[in-house]
């Protein structure tokens, strides 16, 4: 297969970034991975190489550094697109260190957009956004036209502001076509178990906390509240397999690389369209792993919304993308990955 367009993937050693790099390779794209290794491991590069069976260009770069970003773009002037994952993403940490989040998430974004403008060539740009922008939506399932509420955390605010910066830039600079993908809850691991979610330190998210508890790295899972107005009292989320999410990036890239494509900015919700409660996730884990999970019910976590799941009709229709993998597939892959990590 002749090499397709050359794509820079920032945050390419991260959870979603690494899985997207693998999908890009399988579609014949040339990939440049950019990562500062602040919240990822160089081991993931080896995992990607083991899957794609090819060397891959990796640039260790701090995107907050304007000079470094300029040098990156000078070195790779022939790129056709950028998929921008690189960002700090721990909600709790963002409340404690807001300036770190604004500087990193927005400073890096602006540095990249400024270099895109200097390139002065047609360029495609996919932005990693989040359903966090909706807060607690009034209408479920959540459509892209749902109102954007005041963010509940600096992290969520950087996603809202990031989308606005890109939309304004697309209005002022006509050589860019961009799509923001609003992820719901990404979970799971690559079937090869060469790559997966690699939380550094104590996991914030539910699935890695479940698998670390089951493998014995954590004593027990605390369910953050079971007194919500849901069928079993626990919060509901739309958990999407990271492979389906990675494939959504390929579909979005194809759309913005298409010269026939007229719209130069759009947003899409990327989820399964189905919500599951925390208790349903726990029961599903116990079923696929044949492991009894040690958990207790604790107090609510500040900032948690009650219920969120996507209306995916827009992505289904316009991107011709559908989530294909089930909650069981995703949780089983996450469990296999945790067991692999234990052996290392």
Contact flag: residue 158 with ligand WQD (CB under 6 A): no
> Within a 13 Å sphere around the CA of 342, how many CA atoms are in the beta-carbon half?
15
Q: Could you say which residues in the range 174-193 bind ligand WQD, by CB under 6 A? A: 183, 185
The secondary structure of 222-240 as a DSSP string is: EEE-S-SSSTTSS-EE-EE
Other Cβ atoms less than 10 A from the Cβ of 268: the count is 23
Q: How far is the CB of 80 from ligand WQD (least distance, A)?
A: 26
Residue 155 falls in the annotated catalytic set: yes
Cβ proximity of 39 and 115 under 8 Å = no
Closest to ligand WQD by CB, 80 vs 88, is 88
Contact flag: residue 278 with ligand WQD (CB under 6 A): yes
Q: How far is the CB of 203 from ligand WQD (least distance, A)?
A: 7
Q: What is the DSSP letter of 39?
A: S
Other Cβ atoms less than 10 A from the Cβ of 325: the count is 18
Size of the residue set binding ligand WQD (CB under 6 A)? 19
State which of residues 7, 123, 206, 240 lies at the interface with ligand WQD (CB under 6 A): 206
Residue of 101, 134, 155, 309 marked catalytic: 155
Closest to ligand WQD by CB, 253 vs 279, is 279
Q: How far is the CB of 132 from ligand WQD (least distance, A)?
A: 4
Closest to ligand WQD by CB, 58 vs 209, is 209
Cβ proximity of 182 and 268 under 8 Å = yes
d(CA 255, CA 236): 31
Q: How far is the CB of 205 from ligand WQD (least distance, A)?
A: 3
Q: What is the DSSP letter of 50?
A: H
Q: Could you say which residues in the range 215-244 bind ligand WQD, by CB under 6 A? A: 221-224, 235, 237
Contact flag: residue 91 with ligand WQD (CB under 6 A): yes
d(CA 48, CA 25): 10
Contact flag: residue 33 with ligand WQD (CB under 6 A): no
State which of residues 93, 97, 204, 280 lies at the interface with ligand WQD (CB under 6 A): 204
Cβ proximity of 101 and 39 under 8 Å = no
Secondary element (H or E) of residue 84: strand 81-84
Calculate the CA 229 to chain-centre distance. 28
State which of residues 65, 205, 316, 326 lies at the interface with ligand WQD (CB under 6 A): 205
State which of residues 301, 314, 322, 339 lies at the interface with ligand WQD (CB under 6 A): 301
Q: Is 11 helix (H, G, I), strand (E, B) or coil?
A: coil
Contact flag: residue 142 with ligand WQD (CB under 6 A): no
177 CB burial (10 A radius; 0-12, 13-18, 19+) = buried
Largest CA distance in the chain: 57
Contact flag: residue 330 with ligand WQD (CB under 6 A): no
Contacting residues toward ligand WQD, per CB under 6 A: 89, 91, 130, 132, 183, 185, 204-206, 209, 221-224, 235, 237, 278, 301, 304
Catalytic residues: 155
């Amino acid at each position: 297969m002749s090499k397709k367009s050359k794509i820079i993937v920032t945050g390419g050693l991260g959870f979603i970034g690494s899985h997207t790099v693998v999908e890009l390779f399988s579609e014949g794209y040339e990939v440049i991975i950019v990562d500062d290794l602040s919240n990822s491991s160089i081991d993931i590069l080896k995992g990607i190489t083991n899957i794609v069976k090819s060397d891959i260009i990796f640039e260790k770069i701090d995107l907050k550094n304007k000079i470094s970003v300029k040098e990156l773009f000078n070195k790779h002037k022939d790129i056709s697109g950028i998929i921008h994952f690189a960002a700090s993403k721990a909600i709790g940490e963002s409340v404690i260190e807001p300036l770190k989040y604004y500087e990193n998430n927005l400073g890096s974004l602006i540095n990249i957009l400024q270099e895109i403008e200097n390139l002065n060539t047609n360029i495609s740009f996919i932005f990693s956004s989040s359903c966090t922008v909706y807060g607690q939506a009034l209408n479920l399932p959540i459509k892209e036209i749902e109102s954007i509420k005041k963010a509940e955390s600096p992290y969520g605010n950087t996603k809202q502001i990031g989308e606005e910066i890109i939309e304004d830039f697309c209005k002022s600079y006509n050589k860019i076509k961009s799509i923001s993908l609003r992820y719901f809850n990404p979970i799971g691991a690559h079937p090869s178990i060469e790559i997966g979610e690699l939380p550094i330190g104590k996991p914030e998210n539910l699935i890695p906390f479940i698998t670390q508890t089951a493998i014995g790295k954590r004593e027990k899972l605390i369910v953050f509240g079971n007194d919500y107005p849901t069928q079993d009292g626990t919060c509901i989320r739309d958990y999407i397999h990271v492979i389906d999410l990675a494939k959504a990036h390929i579909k979005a890239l194809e759309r913005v690389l298409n010269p026939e494509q007229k719209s130069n900015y759009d947003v899409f919700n990327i989820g399964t369209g189905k919500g599951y409660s925390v208790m349903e996730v726990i029961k599903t884990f116990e079923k696929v792993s044949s492991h009894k999970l040690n958990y207790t019910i604790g107090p609510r976590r500040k900032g948690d919304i009650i219920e969120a799941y996507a209306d995916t009709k827009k992505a289904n229709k316009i991107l011709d993308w559908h989530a294909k993998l089930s909650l069981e597939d995703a949780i089983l892959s996450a469990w296999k990955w945790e067991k692999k990590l234990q052996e290392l």
